[in-house]
Chains A and B, each alone.
Chain A
Amino acid sequence: MTLSQLLSMGGYAFYVWGSYALSLIAMCAEVLLLRQRKKTLQRQHQNLSK
């Protein structure tokens, strides 16, 4: 498969790459939100132990 074939996906680029992009965004968003939640907890914990 050449690069242009890969990018055009036989004319279905929007649907194929769109679904992979959305999946990537959804998973990254979940991980980032979770990281934030953990950081908030760690901050609270440090304040408590002061």
Chain B
Amino acid sequence: MSRSKIHWYKYASPAHFYPLANKLIPWVATVAVVLFILGIYVAFFVAPTDFQQGDAYRVLFIHVPAAWMGMFLYILMAVYAVIGWAFNVRLSSMMASSLSITGAMFTCLALVTGSLWGKPTWGTWWVWDARTTSTLILFFLYIGFISLQSVIDDPRRADRAGAVLALVGVINVPVIYFSVQWWNTLHQGATIRFLSQPTIATRMLIPMLVMLSACWLYSIAVVLIRLCCIIVEREQSSVSFTEESTRENGAIAWGADK
């Protein structure tokens, strides 16, 4: 990655964040790529063929991490959005906007790969059962958050509106997580749980966890790059605005950098 010409730190409120982020991103991205390659290798060459689902179950090595990321990133997004709203931290709200795109991408992937797994194993591309439906709702929540932010011109108002939506939508995440226990669904139950032994062979568990770590690092890298872009975009528009108003009013612009 070439050295950035933009002085990111000038625009950041925590002034030391940007040099750090710029140094961090290439490393995180590299480790993510290495882990993806390693994860795919283990998923195809080490993990045995499932005796019920055959090789079709190998879709799950990307499906499950994608679905988890969709949920994790939503919770993170809601936390950042609410912090940004409650304590008036702009950077936090920008982080929420940055997270929303990657979260939506992973949720979309979870739905599509789930569909590609469902066709050979369930015999259908889509069923309206509790888990698939609540995951679809999660996707719509992301889309709602993104479109709400893009239709409101004033970024701070957009942040507040988004935070309300994100906060209300958080209720959907435990619904997704527990849906396989609460309702009698077609979707199989969790094989990896917090408090009990996973009901999955170790050779199948390891690729799942490697892929999950790869997805995490990928998300961190992408979200940080986007966060840098969002900050510059927003600060730039406010800079040009103050320049304009200075010219028009001949007044000293408030809050200008210098």
State the CA gap A44–B183 with chains docked (Å): 53
- Which DSSP category, helix, strand, loop or mixed, fits chain B's interface? helix
The total of interchain contacts (Cβ-Cβ below 8 angstroms) comes to 80
| B120 on interface, CB distance cutoff 8 Å | yes
Q: Encode B115-140 as 1/0 by CB contact (under 8 A) with A.
A: 01101100000000000000000000
State the CA gap A42–B225 with chains docked (Å): 13
- Which DSSP category, helix, strand, loop or mixed, fits chain A's interface? helix
The number of residues on chain B lying at the interface, defined by a beta carbon within 8 Å of a beta carbon of chain A, is 35
| B229 on interface, CB distance cutoff 8 Å | yes
User: Which among A11, A19, A20 has the highest number of chain B CB atoms within 10 Å?
Assistant: A19
A-B contacts, 7 listed (Cβ < 8 Å): A9-B56, A12-B120, A16-B56, A16-B116, A34-B222, A38-B228, A38-B229
User: Using a CB–CB distance below 8 Å, which chain B residues touch chain A?
Assistant: 4-6, 40, 44-45, 49, 54-56, 58-59, 62-63, 66, 101-102, 105, 108-109, 112-113, 116-117, 119-120, 218, 222, 225-226, 228-229, 232-233, 236
